[in-house]
């Protein structure tokens, strides 16, 4: 049965990977790319074939449907996954392959000489002897999050025992600010008692803490002048931005922090002689620390404005998502059931504070507690992303167990 399930999951995963569906952070539409519509249409068609009800696909490439249960007294549960893959400058087209890891370096692409070196990626060592899915090294694998889409769709096909109503949602543009989940109407489209995301992370990982996240934009307006007459007149916006960045702790950045440590990350700047636009990501698990980082940006913006009185500094800060744990109240069923499912399957739980966000963060902020559990994959957003097939199977088994446990 496990071998049959592994083949079923792998075949469906390959089918979904054949549809390129990167999101585009520069786009202002929802979805940000037309290709996500193609993915949504495929899922809607498959859900119809599987006999689900109330299937809706909207102009935003969001698909929702209900699998009716036979336990009307059971809580109404939901699974939400995203259909976009991330754009990190690699190919949008994914060419998956399944290799067996025998302990040595793995050639992902002989033509381009792309290798996964065990010395550089020791995280693969525990999977000795296992079949593992990779891309051909020219793209991410897309397990984030098409592995989860595969798990949920396979669950909709296979589930036969006693369970309550199950609502599924497939949303676009998670990778660029959880846009699809933020637009999801919980009352009309995803009316459930609690829900789960299946996004990221190795076998056994459970997430009900993630960053509070905000995005900052700082616009420095200088005073252009010809260098021959620039003394006392010219104000260089690049130097304004440089002076701004220098006032922050160089150790409080992503490359110097871990665990529950927050950071401010300056990650984009467009500039010329008149204007510089600097962008930053603000992250912290603790709300007080989160607010303090925002206030620090405000105070330093004021300092730079005072330092350059003939220039201008404009700061805007927008919240992107919040910590799932902010929404935890007395009803912890969504979290407790994950641990019950793991215990039933003999999987050791690995609770991590996620240094990122999932669609569950957006839903939790709306009042719907939505923790996360693993797909089994490693190295997201990388050409070396990989998914061990046995872990993939375990992800499915956890999702299946949740449906039955919730009904009890």
**Residue 126 in tokens:** 């525990």
Catalytic positions, please? 84, 174
């Amino acid at each position: 049965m496990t071998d049959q399930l592994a083949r079923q999951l792998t075949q469906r995963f390959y089918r979904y990977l054949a549809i390129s569906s990167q999101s585009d952070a520069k786009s202002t539409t929802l979805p940000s790319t037309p290709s996500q519509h193609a993915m949504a249409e495929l899922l809607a068609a498959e859900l119809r074939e599987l006999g689900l009800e109330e299937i809706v696909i909207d102009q935003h490439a969001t698909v929702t449907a209900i699998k009716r249960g036979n336990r009307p007294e059971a809580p109404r549960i939901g699974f939400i996954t995203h259909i976009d893959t991330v754009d990190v400058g690699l190919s949008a087209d994914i060419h998956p392959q399944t290799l067996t890891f025998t302990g040595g370096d793995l050639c992902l692409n002989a033509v381009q000489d792309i290798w996964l070196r065990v010395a550089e990626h020791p995280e693969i060592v525990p999977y000795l002897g296992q079949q593992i899915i990779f891309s051909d090294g020219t793209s991410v694998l897309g397990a984030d999050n098409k592995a989860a889409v595969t798990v949920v769709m396979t669950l909709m096909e296979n589930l036969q025992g006693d369970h309550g109503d199950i609502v599924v949602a497939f949303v676009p543009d998670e990778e660029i600010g959880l846009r699809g989940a933020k637009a999801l109407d919980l009352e009309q489209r995803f009316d459930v008692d609690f829900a789960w995301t299946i996004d990221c992370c190795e076998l056994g990982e459970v997430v009900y803490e993630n960053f509070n996240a905000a995005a900052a934009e700082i616009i420095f307006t200088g005073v252009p002048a010809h260098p021959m007459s620039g003394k006392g007149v010219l104000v260089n916006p690049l130097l304004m931005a440089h002076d701004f960045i220098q006032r922050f702790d160089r150790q409080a950045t992503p490359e110097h922090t871990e665990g529950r440590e927050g950071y401010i990350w300056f990650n984009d700047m467009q500039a010329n002689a008149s204007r510089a636009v600097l962008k930053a990501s603000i992250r912290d698990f603790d709300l007080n620390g989160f607010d303090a980082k925002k206030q620090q940006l405000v105070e330093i913006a004021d300092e730079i404005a005072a330092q350059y009185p003939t220039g201008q500094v404009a700061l805007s800060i927008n919240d992107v998502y919040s910590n799932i744990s902010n929404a935890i109240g007395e009803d912890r069923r969504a979290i407790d059931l994950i641990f019950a499912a793991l215990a039933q399957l003999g999987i050791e739980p690995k609770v991590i504070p996620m240094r990122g966000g999932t669609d569950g963060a957006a839903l939790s902020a709306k009042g719907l507690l939505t923790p996360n559990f693993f797909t089994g994959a490693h190295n997201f957003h990388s050409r070396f992303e990989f998914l061990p097939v046995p872990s993939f199977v375990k992800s499915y088994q956890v999702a299946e167990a949740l449906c039955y446990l919730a009904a009890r």
